[in-house]
Amino acid sequence: MKLFSIIIPAYNEERTIHLILDKVRDVQLINGIAKEVIIVNDGSTAGTVAAVERYMGINPAMGIRSGAFTAEPGAAGCHC
């Protein structure tokens, strides 16, 4: 099976992360391609992790993985 990985950096997005995850969930891929979503906690100081965990509980089939990013806040977005 082919797998399409979507990586989303999140910094203090507890109030909005569900909106982007809903949009990603609703995208239908073709030719049997599955999707996985990787949320990178970009040093959030608010409830982003809890919001992602709640979403994962409601949408267990979505294939969300959540992890930490250890650089300074905002680095995962790298506005280089």
Two tokens at 43? 């040093």
Domain ranges of the chain: 3-77
pLDDT the model gives residue 61: 81
Q: Which helix (H) or strand (E) holds 61?
A: none
70-76 long-range contacts (CB < 8 A, ≥24 apart) are 71/43, 72/43, 73/11, 73/42, 73/43, 73/44, 73/45, 74/11, 74/42, 74/43, 75/42, 75/43, 76/9, 76/11, 76/40, 76/42
Quick one: tokens of 66? Answer: 């959540």
Written as tens digits, the pLDDT of the chain (80 aa) is: 899 999 999 989 999 999 999 999 999 999 999 998 988 887 888 888 899 989 999 988 877 877 665 555 555 554 44
What pLDDT is attached to residue 79? 44
- The pair of structure tokens assigned to 8 is 């989303």
pLDDT of residue 80: 41
The answer, as to whether pTM is greater than 0.95, is no
